[in-house]
Amino acid sequence: MKHQLFFLLLAVCFLLAFGSQARQGIYEIQSPDGHLKMKISTANAISYTVLFKGHEAVRPSAVAMMLDKQILGSSSELIKAKTNAGKNVFSELTLDFKEQFSLVFRAYNEGVAYRFVTRFKDSVTVINEQADFNVGSGCAVTYPETDLLTAWELSYQQYGSLADIPEGKRAITPALFSDQKSGIKVVVAESDLLDYPGMYLQKKDGDISGFWAGYPLKTELGSWGNFVSVVKERAGYIAKTVGSRTFPWRVIIVTDDDKELLDNHLVYELARPSQIGRPQWIKPGKAAWEWWHDALLPGADIPSGMDNRNTALYKYYIDFAAAHGLEYLMLDAGWSDNYDLLKVKPRVDVSELIRYGKSKNVGVFLWCVGTTLLKDLDKNLDFLQSIGAAGIKVDFFDRDDQLAIQWFEKIAKAAAKRKLMVNFHGCSKPTGLQKAYPNILNYEAVRGAECSKWDYSANPDQHLLYPFIRMIAGPMDYTPGSMRNRTKDNFKPVDPGLPATQGTRCHELAMFVVFNQPLAMLCDSPTEYERDPDVMKFLSAVPTVFDETRVLGAKLGEYALMAKKKNGQWFVGAMNNWQQRTLKLDFSFLEDGQTYTARFYKDAADADQNAEHYTYEMTRVNKDTKIDLILANGGGAVVHLIKAR
């Protein structure tokens, strides 16, 4: 009764304050925990301000949408304002305007968001959108910058202040802004992106604003392999769309605790609910994969290498997957013609491989080019379904204008009808479509392990940015699992051949816990894994999706320590940048009265010299156990916890 009275009084106070401010054209909503407040002004132009624990995290920032016939948000006449508690998960303010549009604002504990909703009878042309994020020129910036509109596998550039970023410089989202005085971090992202171009950020007039690719008027095949749809001419508008619809959420995540960034799901929460009924056929898992290590099997009694990719070689991979509990084989480029999916190369009997895999409980994913798949989507997917493929890896989109964003949903929807899972590659970042179509397991959109073949950009310093920024958008296909681990000083890119990676063996293993990857590649050669049964024991056991997550410790760009639970077993992962450190691992997240057998994989004492060296030991722990984890430069650790009998 006391709780009910408290919430009633709180609601009355809120309504009184709301009514007083509304008369002045000022509205306010706050997160359920009270830490975040969003103030919205409707006087003349529309703007919002974000406060976190009393600090101005985002200064007054303009909101508008420029249509071909009017500007939504400029001198618009407000006719109604209404609030919604959102089942105590968020507070919501909807502002309805006479000009046939609304603005919806939400405040969650994890962040705030807003979106346009229009109610026009006829279709509309969106010339541009104004989405300002005035974070302040003094903020340090972690900026996945690009001068292109074609790539998302980017390194993060670090700027000491926003003022240091050249005017006009763009970045993809999510991007992170850090107030050095208050310790507050702001991540700008978007969610529920449908039939509309993806949002970039741009330094404009000294601050940050949204930027969108123009609508593609003329395209032709070109770029790598001459099978990428390349835009040759863009319109002076960004979208043509139906007049009655919701537009993407503009998302602002705010926190002063780095740990909260590692378990922030606001982009997913804001997205459209599942459009798939009975999704039990969707099964995340791990996959053997030949492309990264050039299909080389050192020591195997079978011809290997890219020139020997045939039915016999792929059966070897299936046998490996079956022996170690891997759910899938990923068959990459080369099994069919890049321009005609139905022209299967005679050296690979795909139907036989799929039949053989099913006999051993191993499904097969098949790679294809996006433009090739879309030439006749139904016919191509019908073929893949008819031969029993488990899913598809669709590559080389290299765009996120309005038409390209339509492709993602079109493919996911058509694939779901045929019970095919999807792994998007060469694609823009996720924005929650995997919630509407959970058959989408992964998006690439990360500077992944493939880059170790060519340059130095995939390294522990970058690895300790991905979970705090990129992973907020959704799952990523980094493709970890390298067994040739190198220190910073002795790493060199290798292509063709057997590549290596930067960071220790345990750093690499920790990616399987820390990174969000429902379809997790084991990027290295089966013969490499089988030389190290202890490592393979962990890789066989670690799942790709979890029931519960605990962030035990984190600092942006430096380290991450996480524990994740699946079916009563816990998996702990620790990752480190290039700076050696010691982390306190506290097992107080375990339940009372239960002892666990703990399998520890830790950096060896000489891992700073030989990154492949690690120690493996078993011991028993309970919730009172505390240990020091000594992480080498570029180091890591993993622990597998099983209830002791």
Q: Which residues are catalytic?
A: 395, 450
Residue 284, preceding peptide bond in cis (omega within 30° of 0) = no
Long-range contacts of 215-223 (CB under 8 A, 24+ apart): 215/239, 215/240, 215/401, 215/402, 215/403, 216/399, 216/401, 216/402, 216/403, 221/371, 223/150, 223/396, 223/398
Residue 99 burial (C-beta neighbours within 10 Å; 0-12, 13-18, 19+): buried
Provide DSSP, 503-520.
Answer: S-HHHHHHHHHHS--SEE
- AA identity, residue 260: E
509 Cβ contact list (under 8 Å, min separation 6): 535, 538, 539, 573, 601, 636, 638
Two structure tokens written together for 581:
């450190």
- Neighbouring CB atoms inside 10 A of 626's CB total 11
Residue identified by tokens 């029931």 is: 547
**Measured between alpha carbons, how far is residue 194 from residues 198, 216, 273, 292, 400 in Å?**
9, 16, 13, 32, 11
Q: What is the CA radius of gyration of the chain?
A: 25
Tell me how far apart the alpha carbons of residues 182 and 44 are, in angstroms, rounded to a whole number: 32
The residue written with tokens 């000022």 in the block is: 26
Residue 577 token pair = 């940048």
Q: Could you tell me the two tokens for 138?
A: 């003094």
CA 564 to chain centre: 18
CA 501, distance to chain mean position in Å, is 21
220: tokens are: 């032709």
CB 596 within 8 A of CB 627: no
Q: Output the DSSP codes for 136-157.
A: -TT-EEEE-B-S-SS----PPE
